[in-house]
Structure 1
Amino acid sequence: MMNFAMRPPRPASITFNALALLAICAVLCTTLVWEFGHGYAPDAAAQLQRLAYLMAGAGLLLNLRFGPSPAHYAMTLAAALIGIAAAGLQVLPRLVGSATEAATAGAPAMATGSPATLLGMQPATWSLAGFAVLLVYCTFMLMLDRRATDNSMPRRVGMFTALSMWLFFFAALGTTVATGLQCGVSTCPAPGQGYAWLPAEWQPTPALADVQAEPLPAAATTADKPR
């Protein structure tokens, strides 16, 4: 009698999950370079997005270690939804502000957050796109692995899969250390207010000071003009 309860994962499924995990590693490493290399410390919404990427990566890692499972994909889907909500907190106010600025002729621009762009888009916009791709990816993989079942026994992994798993481990460790240095054991400070557990001479130079809108000179009124 043939047993269809447990089927070995497809090679394509393992490859796709390993590539997706490497993509998340690239995102986490880029955020660290953005923070310490360019001085853009994350705010609360950005910290939540990092946590969502870590949660999504954990779901993919479980797929690689124990085989594809609907529960693992559900973890990644939940992380993507949390990340979309967190990234939307940063993207939507800028969209509304741009629309309001365009509708109000002559209104001074107000700088909110980091205006720096990566390949033409702001980091929050890239993050929102990344979480949307994760949603599509999980939907596709659930169809590909529709006969996969939960398995608590670890499986042997190849060299490429092991490489992606170890890279994610170090990327997650670096992200956790960076969050600890900024926040310590209390509430995370606002961007530009330093790091709780870093000496003053090691503090990254904040870049937010370069994007704050300078106050415009007050317009001279008739009463102020010399007669």
Structure 2
Amino acid sequence: MDVRLTETRLGQLEIAAIAGISFLLVDAFFYQLVLGELPCAFCNLIRVCLMLLGSGMLLNRVFGISPWNYVLSGFGALIGSLLSLLFMFAKALPGSTPTGSAIFGLHMYTWTFMVFTAAIMFCLVMAVLYARRDTTANDSQASRRRPAMHKLVMVLFVVLVAANLVSAFLQNGFGHFRAGGQQHYQMLHDGDVMKP
């Protein structure tokens, strides 16, 4: 069986992955802005890992496919998986209460552990497919003419990354990420961004 793919097919897989990551970031904003569940330090770090995961794939779409971009995505997925696992262990202690709402009976940190673990496998498979790609196909012109949907997904991801950075700043200011239980955005509550 020949598993060689053209760069166009690899790009379509990556755009689908970026769309999935964007969906997760939109979902996180839904819980934050609509349901009022501010992210804790672990949640903010998990969001950073989601952004790293998507950034490697976005770099592939903008500058061309490179194995180092898969390393960046895989690194984000590995750190995110470990953070999610650590969060799960922290909430497994007797007497500790789960953080946030449950989706289909599982909390966000459990879902992100599964997503990041699958993403590690995705990055490995994509790197193998990149190595076995069909270099005889002329995809250089096709990669320059991106469909409008691909551009929309890429712009959505960049906007979500910027929104997450603004959100983290409004929540924590110039300090470190704070543990759970925050009831307000510190920068909006205190009103002075330059306060010590």
Report the TM-score when normalising by structure 1.
Answer: 0.71
- Kept in 2, the 8 Å contact 1:9–1:67? The answer is no
Matched, 1:114 2:96: no
* CA deviation after TM superposition for structure 1 residue 147, in Å: 4.9
1:48, 1:114 → 2: CA distance? 15
Flag the structure with higher helix content: 2
Any unmatched runs of 5+ in structure 2?
A: 191-196
Residue 92 to residue 111, structure 1, CA distance change in 2 (3 Å): closer
Establish whether residue 49 from structure 1 lines up as the match of residue 49 from structure 2: no
The 4+ residue runs of structure 1 with deviation greater than 4 A are none
Q: CA RMSD in A?
A: 2.2
- State the partner residue of 2:82: 85
Are residues 1:63 and 2:53 paired? no
Letter in 2 for 1:161: H
The farther-off stretch of 139-148 and 79-88 is 139-148
Amino acid at match of 1:21: I
Within 5 Å, give how 1:1-227 maps onto structure 2.
Answer: 9-95=6-92, 97=93, 101=94, 110-114=95-99, 116-147=101-132, 156=144, 157-193=146-182, 194-199=184-189
The 3-state SS of whatever aligns with 1:89 is helix
CA distance in 1, matches of 2:171, 2:165: 10
1:133 & 1:172 partners in 2: Cα distance? 21
Q: Deviations over 1:82-116 (max 9, x none)?
A: 10111111112333x3xxx5xxxxxxxx2434252
Could you tell me how far 1:142 is from its partner in structure 2?
1.2
> Could you tell me the TM-score, scaled by structure 2's length?
0.82
Greater C-alpha Rg: 1
| Percent of pairs with identical residues | 27
Deviations 1:183-204 (A, max 9, x none): 111123333332211248xxxx
CA deviations over 1:36-71 (Å, ceiling 9, x no partner): 222222222111111111111110101111222100
Cα distance in 1, alignment partners of residues 187 and 98 from structure 2: 23
Aligned amino acid, residue 114 of structure 1: T
What is the Cα deviation at residue 133 of structure 1? 1.2
Query: How far apart, in 2, do the equivalents of 1:42 and 1:132 lie?
Result: 21
How many residues in Structure 1 have an aligned counterpart in Structure 2? Answer: 177
